[in-house]
Amino acid sequence: MIESVRFGQITIDGKTYDHDVIIDMEGNVEKRKKKLSKKIYGTSHVVSVDEVKYFLNENAESLIIGAGQQGILTLSPEAREYLQNLKIRVQIAPTPQAILLFNEAKEKKIGLFHVTC
C-alpha cells in the first residue's frame, strides 16, 4: 500500500523512500534503475525499453506509472510498443493520482513512481 507521496519522497508500507521506485507484482520495492534510460536519452524523464525489460514481469497485466508531481516522465515510443505487444495495459498519471490508481488496482500490476518534477 502506498501511503503518501510528496516532492522527493514516497511512503510505502510504512517505509519512506527518497528516490524513484519500482513496485513488483509481489509488492517488493526497489530503487528505479534510471541509468538504463538516461544513457540513451540523456534524461531519466523518458523510460526506455531497456529499463522496462529490466523490471517487467511478463505475467503482469498492467503497469502504473507515476510520472512525477507535474507529470513530466514519459515512456519512449519503443517502450510503449513493447508493452502493447505484450498486451500490458499502461496507465500514466502524475504521481499523486497514480498512487490512487495503484492502490485501487486489482489486476497483476507493477508500479514505477517518479518522486520529483
pLDDT of residue 57: 93
pLDDT of residue 61: 98
pLDDT of residue 58: 84
Domains and CATH numbers, the chain: 2-114 (3.40.1230.10)
Distance (Å) of CA 13 to CA 1, 76, 100? 6, 30, 14
Distance from the first to the final alpha carbon of the chain:
22
pLDDT tens digits, one per residue of 47-66:
999 999 999 998 999 999 99
Distance (Å) of CA 73 to CA 27, 43, 57, 113? 22, 10, 21, 9
Mean pLDDT of the chain, nearest integer: 97
- Sequence length of the chain is 117
Rounded to a whole number of angstroms, the CA Rg of the chain reads: 13
| pLDDT average, residue stretch 76-89 | 97
95 pLDDT band, cuts 50/70/90, is very high
| Four-point Cα dihedral 43, 68, 113, 8, nearest 10 | 90
